């Protein structure tokens, strides 16, 4: 079975840059955001759980009403926790399936902004945390999403205020501050990961 390494970091830190480097070098990178949406759209068991636990109209004609779900879970913490548990479990199961299929490489990567909240930290052998100064992160997200400094600053505050109950024992840092090149850092970590 492949070694599983998480790529994590806050919004605007540059996780996707690291993922693109790895993909260009032939590695499999499981993108949790993308895959969670895909799984939610196609998994009828999830549809059933959403209508049972979130709202009876959460799924109409096989299509998830994301606006309705968002309007509910952002005012009801219990329903938000339930939604997260449904989706996180499905993603963890899918990562296991992908890991079992991934026999061509000895390392597989998983990109996630919510490593600890999703309990994916319990599945991985190592964590690569991508970091960048706050002002650089804000400017990147403003450019990418065409939003205000205040909006991005609020999102970063919400993300950065989370404190995990535990920290993975094998955490490596990748600095993505527009000064230190990222590629040599990734190559160094890859070399170490393949030898351990």
CB 66 within 8 Å of CB 52 = no
Chain-wide mean pLDDT for the chain? 93
pLDDT reported for residue 41: 94
Percentage with pLDDT > 90 across the chain: 82
Model confidence pTM above 0.85: yes
User: Which stretches of the chain score pLDDT less than 70?
Assistant: 1
pLDDT reported for residue 103: 73
Residues 6+ apart with CB under 8 A from 28: 98, 102, 105, 108, 109
pLDDT reported for residue 91: 97
Instruction: Write down the residue that tokens 């449904």 correspond to.
Output: 86
pLDDT reported for residue 1: 65
pLDDT reported for residue 33: 93
**Long-range contact list for 142-145, CB < 8 A, 24+ apart?**
144/12
């Amino acid at each position: 079975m492949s070694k599983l390494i998480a790529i994590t970091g806050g919004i605007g830190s540059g996780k996707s840059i690291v993922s693109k480097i790895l993909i260009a070098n032939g590695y499999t990178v499981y993108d949790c955001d993308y895959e969670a949406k895909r799984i939610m759209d196609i998994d009828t068991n999830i549809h059933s759980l959403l209508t049972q636990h979130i709202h009876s109209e959460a799924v109409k004609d096989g299509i998830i009403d994301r606006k309705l779900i968002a309007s509910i879970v952002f005012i009801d913490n219990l329903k938000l926790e339930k939604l997260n548990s449904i989706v996180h479990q499905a993603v963890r199961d899918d990562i296991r399936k992908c890991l079992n299929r991934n026999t061509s490489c000895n390392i597989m990567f998983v990109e996630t902004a919510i490593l600890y909240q999703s309990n994916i930290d319990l599945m991985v052998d190592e964590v690569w945390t991508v970091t960048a100064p706050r002002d650089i992160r804000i400017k990147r997200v403003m450019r990418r999403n065409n939003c205000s400094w205040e909006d991005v600053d609020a999102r970063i505050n919400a993300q950065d205020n989370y404190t995990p109950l535990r920290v993975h024992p094998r955490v490596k840092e990748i600095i993505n501050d527009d000064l230190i090149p990222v590629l040599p850092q990734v190559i160094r970590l890859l070399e170490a990961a393949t030898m351990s």
